[in-house]
Amino acid sequence: MKIGIVGLGVVGLATGVVLAEQGHKIIGVDIDQNKVKGLECKRSPIYEPGLQEMLERYFHNFTFTTDYGLLFNTDLVFITVSTPTIDGKIYLGYVFDVAKRLRDVLKRNDAIVVIKSTVVPGTARKVKEIVKNDVVSNPEFLREGSAILDTKNPDRIVIGSENKEAGDLVENLWKFTNAPVIRATWEEAEMIKYAANSFLAVKISFINEIANVCEKLKDCDVTVIAKAIGMDKRISPYFLNAGIGWGGSCFPKDTQAIVSFARDLGEELKIVEAAIKVNNERIKRVVSMLKGFIKEGNVCVLGVAFKPNTDDTRESVALKLIKTLKSEGYKVVAYDPKAITNEAKMVGLDECIRIADVVIIATEWDEFKGLEEKLRGKFVIDGRRILDPSKMEKEKFKAVGLGE
């Protein structure tokens, strides 16, 4: 098929390379000229495992452009633009802008418009009013850092459609993944995405609260609790890693968006609101651990990206931590294998540790595992539970969810 993808962020690019691998011709559209120019030279604008290689390998199936006009004879167009939260509410302007452009371009064409961007219920219906073409809601569940793997091996494919044939076509497109398919209405498909992200955010905040209690107990480690409860199939072991909180471009904005969307409908999402509140308190707890060690001095923050295997720092808890530490008067240096920031002086791993009075692990990069020996002599706070407490100096080590 000839497939348009509008919005070349992580979702658009991962969708693009995976469908290009399947032999489809992809026309990638973005308003960012620099991004398009880079992609035309086979340069991925973001770090995502496997993305650069896939881009190069299937480059012959790609056209990158800022010109919507090239979408005129496509069979299907994905909308993968961002849907930021502004003043606590979802901003759908980019999605509707794209819809208007598609209406003008697809005039003589019955291309199906597929919404992958995370949008509140009712959006597909509005996009349909604008474009007139068939619209399918096909929410994305990939995680940054494993975007390509997740796109190829999703747990399920959700297809929300009004027109059965349009839904069938999109279902067929993803058949190669062998994933179970949920056919739904537009509103159900849109709601599934928010329910999924909110539930995962709640799960993490839940274990983080359990971690708080563990810290007050003698000989109690939250990782043991998480392991044991995760063995219960009804709970499952995933997303039970206690830490300094959830960040990134999805959970913070999506939880806020659904809370305010529900409130506009006269419903309170009390549990999701509590999860947000718990998350907002994570940094305060790390700072108080730090104050238990030193009141001033040099802090090395290991990890700046919002999670490992990405250079994305959007809503990164590590960055928020750095800002808070600076406002508390600490001098901060940082190291990350891929991400950079202007918020702290970025140095090499060894130098970061050498300069520091206290080292805080803020992102669980593999590179930070096994650092116990190198950290000898330093105060250490493990904010992501990747160090082995038995190998650390007792008086100099604190970790999220680890009791005295």
Tokens of 204: 């993490």
Q: Which is nearer to ligand UGA, 133 or 205 (CB)?
A: 205
Burial class (CB in 10 A: 0-12, 13-18, 19+), 231: exposed
Query: How remote is the C-alpha of 142 from its chain's centroid?
Result: 8
Token look-up 């697809």 returns 106
Q: Which is nearer to ligand UGA, 196 or 355 (CB)?
A: 196
Selecting among 41, 214, 220, 250, the annotated active-site residue is 250
- Choose, by CB under 6 A, the member of 250, 283, 287, 304 that binds ligand UGA: 250
> What residues numbered 289-328 form the site for ligand UGA, per CB under 6 A?
306-307
Q: Which is nearer to ligand UGA, 28 or 145 (CB)?
A: 145
Q: Which is nearer to ligand UGA, 36 or 242 (CB)?
A: 242
Residue 339, SS3 per DSSP: coil
Kindly state whether residue 240 participates in binding ligand UGA, applying the rule CB under 6 A.
yes
Amino acid at 95: V
Select the span of 16-24, 69-77, 210-218, 246-254 touching ligand UGA (CB under 6 A): 246-254
Give the whole-angstrom CA distance, residue 354 versus residue 144: 31
Report in angstroms how near the CB of residue 232 gets to ligand UGA at its nearest.
16
Give the whole-angstrom CA distance, residue 50 versus residue 52: 6
Kindly state whether residue 115 participates in binding ligand UGA, applying the rule CB under 6 A.
no
Residue 29, SS3 per DSSP: strand
Q: Which 8-state DSSP code applies to residue 356?
A: -
Kindly state whether residue 283 participates in binding ligand UGA, applying the rule CB under 6 A.
no
Give the whole-angstrom CA distance, residue 269 versus residue 279: 16
Kindly state whether residue 118 participates in binding ligand UGA, applying the rule CB under 6 A.
yes
- Choose, by CB under 6 A, the member of 9, 247, 337, 383 that binds ligand UGA: 247
Give the whole-angstrom CA distance, residue 248 versus residue 311: 11
Report in angstroms how near the CB of residue 245 gets to ligand UGA at its nearest.
6
- Choose, by CB under 6 A, the member of 62, 64, 194, 246 that binds ligand UGA: 246
Kindly state whether residue 142 participates in binding ligand UGA, applying the rule CB under 6 A.
yes
- Helix ranges (H only) for 294-348 are 317-327
Are the C-beta atoms of 65 and 100 separated by less than 8 Å? Answer: no
Per-residue interface string for the shown chain with ligand UGA, residues 199-238, x marking contact by CB under 6 A: -x---x----------------------------------
250 a catalytic residue: yes
Token look-up 């961002």 returns 82
Determine how many CB atoms are found less than 10 A away from the CB of residue 190: 25
Q: Which is nearer to ligand UGA, 111 or 252 (CB)?
A: 252
Q: List active site positions.
A: 250
Q: Which residues bind ligand UGA (CB under 6 A)?
A: 118, 140-144, 197, 200, 204, 239-241, 243, 246-248, 250-251, 254, 306-307
